[in-house]
Structure 1
Amino acid sequence: MFVRTVYATGDPAKLDTAVRALNSEGHDLLEERPGYRGAGVFADRELGKLLTVSWSTSEADRRNSDDVMRVRRPALLEPFAGTLAVENYEVAVFHAVRRPTLGGGLRLTRVEFDPADADLFADTFRGTVAPRLEALPGLARAALFLDRERGRGMVGTLFADAHSLAASRAGQASARHEGTAKAHVSVTSLEEFEVLHADVRRG
């Protein structure tokens, strides 16, 4: 599968307006697109950060979706979004344990790597990191997104609730240290979000 991420920052007091628009009109627009496989909406209410992830079956489906969403996105995110960044990734690993729930937590790790090491990174995450993450209480999903050409990626781990997210920090730090060392990966940022919506359909 392939994903598009939208990362917006703005006034925390205006964040809920954007969330309501995304979960109504935005959701309806995505549902109409060929190859749509789900979406997620995640927020940091304190700092005023909003992350959305939409999943498509193929790269062509993702481009088709973006042709529509590029035009409609600014209106959906008004008046919240002061900054906006859109990125596209290949889903290299998708490891589902249980269905995420509203009010759960997302930990997002942004990484950089030599493009020549993309397959090494994916194999290391699949064989070493994912099994260790699965042992963390409350894990719902773990996914690895890759931009092979630019040597950038994102690791997303979803937990059932805020308590599980907090309790997993030490365990995931250990798994992250081992995985990045084996795959020659550099971590560039680490963030946590509240899960406002998360739905991915396999197949």
Structure 2
Amino acid sequence: MFARSTTIQAQPSSIDAGVAHVRDAVLPRIQEVDGCVGLSLLVDRESGRCIATTAWENEAALHASAQQVRPVRDEVAQKFGGSPTIDEWEIAVLHRDHRSGPGACVRATWLRVRPEQFDRAIEFYRESVLPAIEELDGFCSASLMIDRASWRAVSSSTFDSLEAMQRNEEQARSLRTARLRDLGADQHDVGEFELAVAHLRVPELV
């Protein structure tokens, strides 16, 4: 499974209109594209950072869709009032305890992994990091997406509510500190988001 993420630094006054456009106009259109298995939208209203992610059955479907989704992406950027930055990922791990509901939130951690440690890091995430994330209060699901060309990765964890995510913040920070050291990875960024649109239908990948 593969994914394409579009990151936009939105104008705060445009976020509600952007969310509505993705939910009501983009989602129905993107689901009609061959090989698409859904879309999610993360929103940080404080910073304005918004991330729309589409998932695809395979790498061929991801690349074949590029021209078809480009005008849709441009519309989204216009609605949010910012320029898009595009990243493509392989979905290496996905585990879902239960589907998220209204009010769910996501904590995302961007990593850089040493080239010689990349495959080991994926296995370490699957065998050691994921079980620890599952123990966090309000856990819904977690994923690890990777870009082998740039040795980057992003770990995302979804929780039932903002309150749950806030309650587990200190525990999650301690977990990152300990596991990143063992993982042989450097933390590049951490963000916390509202899960504004949740319609990814990626199957279990563990």
User: Which TM bucket (shorter chain)?
Assistant: over 0.9
Which residue pairs with 1:59 in the alignment?
59
Which residue pairs with 1:47 in the alignment?
47
Which residue pairs with 1:30 in the alignment?
30
Structure 1 residue matching 2:65: 3-state secondary structure: helix
Structure 2 residue matching 1:78: 3-state secondary structure: helix
Contiguous gaps of at least 5 residues in structure 1:
none
In structure 2, C-alpha distance between the alignment counterparts of 1:177 and 1:123, rounded to whole Å = 18
CA contact (8 A) 1:9 1:48 kept: yes
Alignment of 1:165-176 (within 5 A): 165-176=165-176
1:33 counterpart letter in structure 2? V
1:139 counterpart letter in structure 2? F
CA contact (8 A) 2:108 2:157 kept: yes
Residue 48 of structure 1 deviates from its aligned partner by 1.6
In structure 1, C-alpha distance between the alignment counterparts of 2:199 and 2:168, rounded to whole Å = 22
Residue 191 of structure 1 deviates from its aligned partner by 0.6
Residue 15 of structure 1 deviates from its aligned partner by 1.1
Residue 82 of structure 1 deviates from its aligned partner by 2.1
In structure 1, C-alpha distance between the alignment counterparts of 2:72 and 2:160, rounded to whole Å = 31
Contiguous gaps of at least 5 residues in structure 2:
none
In structure 1, C-alpha distance between the alignment counterparts of 2:63 and 2:85, rounded to whole Å = 16
Structure 2 residue matching 1:120: 3-state secondary structure: helix
Structure 1 residue matching 2:83: 3-state secondary structure: strand
In structure 1, C-alpha distance between the alignment counterparts of 2:107 and 2:123, rounded to whole Å = 21
Given the superposition, is the C-alpha separation of residues 29 and 115 from structure 1 closer, same or farther in structure 2, using an over 3 Å criterion?
farther
Which residue pairs with 2:16 in the alignment?
16
Alignment of 1:114-129 (within 5 A): 114-129=114-129
CA contact (8 A) 1:94 1:143 kept: yes
CA contact (8 A) 1:12 1:49 kept: no
Residue 133 of structure 1 deviates from its aligned partner by 0.7
Residue 45 of structure 1 deviates from its aligned partner by 1.4
In structure 2, C-alpha distance between the alignment counterparts of 1:68 and 1:115, rounded to whole Å = 33
In structure 2, C-alpha distance between the alignment counterparts of 1:67 and 1:115, rounded to whole Å = 31
Residue 202 of structure 1 deviates from its aligned partner by 4.0
In structure 2, C-alpha distance between the alignment counterparts of 1:75 and 1:133, rounded to whole Å = 35
In structure 1, C-alpha distance between the alignment counterparts of 2:167 and 2:66, rounded to whole Å = 37
Residue 170 of structure 1 deviates from its aligned partner by 1.6
Residue 76 of structure 1 deviates from its aligned partner by 2.6
Which residue pairs with 1:190 in the alignment?
190
Which residue pairs with 1:89 in the alignment?
89
CA contact (8 A) 1:33 1:64 kept: no
Which stretch shows the higher mean deviation, 18-27 or 68-77? 68-77
Residue 46 of structure 1 deviates from its aligned partner by 2.2
CA contact (8 A) 1:102 1:197 kept: no
How many residues are treated as equivalent by the alignment?
203
In structure 1, C-alpha distance between the alignment counterparts of 2:66 and 2:146, rounded to whole Å = 18
